[in-house]
Chains A and B, each alone.
Chain A
Amino acid sequence: MDGAQTPGNSETDIWSEAGTTRVPFQVYQDADIYAQELERIFYGSSWNYVGLECEIPEAGDYRRNFIGEREVLMIRKEDGGLSVVENRCAHRGAQLCQALSGVAGAAIMCPYHQWTYTLEGELTGIPFKRGINGKGGLNPDFDMNAHGLVQLRVESLNGVVFASFDHEVVPLKEYLGPDMTKYFTRIFDGRGLRVVGYERQVIDCNWKLQMENLKDPYHAGILHLFLISFGLFRLDQESKCLVDDSKGHSVLMTAKGTEEGKEDTGGVRIAAPDFSLTDHDLIQPRLEFPDNVTLSIQTLFPSIIIQAQCNTLATRQVIPKGPGSHELVWTFFGFEDDDDEMKDLRLRQANLMGSAGYVTLDDAEALEFSQVGLSGSPTGDAAILEIGGTDCESNDHLVTESLIRGFYMRYRDIMGHGKAGD
């Protein structure tokens, strides 16, 4: 090995070169690296998606979620503001709320010994604190103020809520940067949101493979025979792949109907030629944003994806579950002002996405093929990321892996795996 090594820290010497055209297979399966990712990325200076404000409209409403492997509660406070606290009692560590979402009421109470907290996580009540008849209870010098719930920093951008374990993290808009904020607010434009429904699936592959998949336009015109068959996605479409300055975030966009002539399929096998679609609503989007983009996929570091494929809009949250597995939570959403036709389109076009989606079931399958394939690989073996060159820059074409290379630039810097840019 040569290049970017941190002296005296052999576990970070796994990258064979300074750049990110080779991703060591260990990062997808090594338990120590995974533990480091949780600490440095998820519990470090990152902003993590925790939900939509419209999921908790009333004071006392909560939605349970994960950041890394730690459970958090997103809560609507009495004053209409938001709080995010860890879902773990300060007393003995019991899980406070069990439902995926619900009503905590005026206070959060642990079901085990009824220790009680404000909606912001301050400890306010302990049963038999003074014991009974002067016997038992807590020592009088026990400091209630020092034993609240773990409170996270929280910010909302146009109804989408993010939280961080690091109270010193840069403000959310600064974390996203101006370009990513622009594309984020293209979809989350300030209109009231409504949840159309949820889907959850457990995919047995490392969480980063899921993020890679949404930064990989190269696969979309090859793997997804459904998209190819119906011209929903062509590698020669007018398109953009944008990487932000931090290299960790990206947007991938295509416009339908702008390509001309017969596609150069690059040797891709096309499905049965006599296969025609009976239901055309499925692939005829109604333009709803002020441009002709019919597919946009934004990925925000570390683990949230914002999808707009035709009129099916969703956040896809990637929740790590050990080195070899993750949960993918889809929150399909629309806007409060959707008319009946748009409501129908969102339900119907959801056939494209999710755990049984015409498009995305291929992804879940291919991602498991990846994890199975790389498992047990000898130290030193690595994935090749050289499609579209070696850089991490933005492109106006889709035959590139530059967005994935960018992700690993940011990853290496945060993980202390050498200086990726050296």
Chain B
Amino acid sequence: MDQTETSQPVTDDAVLRRIERLQLNYIASIDEGPLDNWPQFFTDKCLYTVVSRDNFDRGMELGVMRFESVGMLVDRATATQHAAVFAPRIIRHVLGPALVDDTGDGYRSRCNVVIYQTSPDGDTVLLMAATYDDLIVEQDGVLKFKEKRVIYDTHRIPDSIVYPL
């Protein structure tokens, strides 16, 4: 995606640390749970989408998940915990450093992420190599995701994607 003309690299360490803390708390809500906390990281009206790099490069928006409100995120968190059948697993996100720009409408943060998945037998596989492309805004003094696009390279997914990413 092109950067808008007005966007400026963020150099303020305090802002960068707040954004890093947001990302770390976000992945902890998935890796450590409880998953009920996951929707709280988003603004009420938001876009959360998980799209393969293959679709993205072809200009196709189809995602394995696509949620447009906190309500839809709550539905996913609830369904995952109460209305899905799957083998137990551990999810582990590893984040790279973020490039952060101030767009005027919020902070745009882009970072690499790899996500591992471990089975009950103890086998760890790479679920996906991906990037987060996020738009972060401040709401009542709290940073939240207005947009989070997970764009994943690993478009031959091993089995299924149970948890959000």
Residues of B within 8 A of A354 (CB): 64
Number of interface residues of A (CB under 8 A): 41
Provide the main secondary structure of the chain B interface. Answer: mixed
**Docked-complex contact A229 and B62, CB < 8 angstroms:** no
Instruction: From the candidates B61, B67, B74, B86, name the one contacting A361 in the complex (CB within 8 A).
Output: B86
**Docked-complex contact A198 and B161, CB < 8 angstroms:** no
A residues 350-366 with Cβ under 8 Å of B? 350-351, 354-358, 360-362, 364-366
CB closest residue in chain B, given A223: B85
A residues 238-293 with Cβ under 8 Å of B? 271-272, 275, 277-279, 282
Residues of B within 8 A of A355 (CB): 64, 157, 159-161
Asked if A42 lies at the interface with its beta carbon under 8 angstroms from chain B, I say: no
- Contact code string B39-73 (vs A, CB < 8 Å = 1, else 0): 00000000000111011001011111111110110
Asked if A196 lies at the interface with its beta carbon under 8 angstroms from chain B, I say: yes
Asked if B32 lies at the interface with its beta carbon under 8 angstroms from chain A, I say: no
Residues of A within 8 A of B161 (CB): 355-356, 361
Asked if A204 lies at the interface with its beta carbon under 8 angstroms from chain B, I say: yes
- B70 → chain A closest CB, angstroms: 8
Residues of B within 8 A of A361 (CB): 84, 86, 160-162
Instruction: From the candidates B66, B75, B78, B84, name the one contacting A362 in the complex (CB within 8 A).
Output: B84
**Docked-complex contact B162 and A225, CB < 8 angstroms:** no
Given contacts A197-B60, A277-B75, A350-B62, contact A364 B82 (CB under 8 A): no
Asked if B79 lies at the interface with its beta carbon under 8 angstroms from chain A, I say: yes
Bound-state Cα–Cα, A362 to B68, Å: 23
- B20 → chain A closest CB, angstroms: 27
Residues of B within 8 A of A351 (CB): 65-67, 76
Residues of B within 8 A of A365 (CB): 85-87, 159-160, 162
**Docked-complex contact A279 and B69, CB < 8 angstroms:** yes
- Contact code string A182-198 (vs B, CB < 8 Å = 1, else 0): 00000000000001111
**Docked-complex contact A271 and B55, CB < 8 angstroms:** no
Bound-state Cα–Cα, A364 to B86, Å: 9
**Docked-complex contact A201 and B55, CB < 8 angstroms:** no
- A161 → chain B closest CB, angstroms: 19
Asked if A122 lies at the interface with its beta carbon under 8 angstroms from chain B, I say: no
Asked if B156 lies at the interface with its beta carbon under 8 angstroms from chain A, I say: yes
Given contacts A226-B83, A361-B160, A364-B160, contact A197 B71 (CB under 8 A): no
Asked if A203 lies at the interface with its beta carbon under 8 angstroms from chain B, I say: yes
- Contact code string A348-385 (vs B, CB < 8 Å = 1, else 0): 10110011111011101110110000000000000000
* 27 pairs, A vs B, C-beta closer than 8 Å: A100-B54, A196-B62, A197-B52, A198-B55, A198-B60, A199-B157, A200-B157, A201-B157, A201-B159, A202-B158, A225-B85, A226-B79, A275-B78, A278-B74, A279-B68, A279-B69, A347-B62, A347-B66, A350-B64, A351-B65, A356-B50, A356-B64, A361-B162, A365-B162, A366-B85, A368-B87, A368-B159
- B positions within 8 Å CB-CB of A: 50-52, 54-55, 58, 60-69, 71-72, 74-76, 78-79, 82-87, 155-162
- A positions within 8 Å CB-CB of B: 100, 195-204, 223, 225-226, 229, 271-272, 275, 277-279, 282, 327, 332, 347-348, 350-351, 354-358, 360-362, 364-366, 368-369
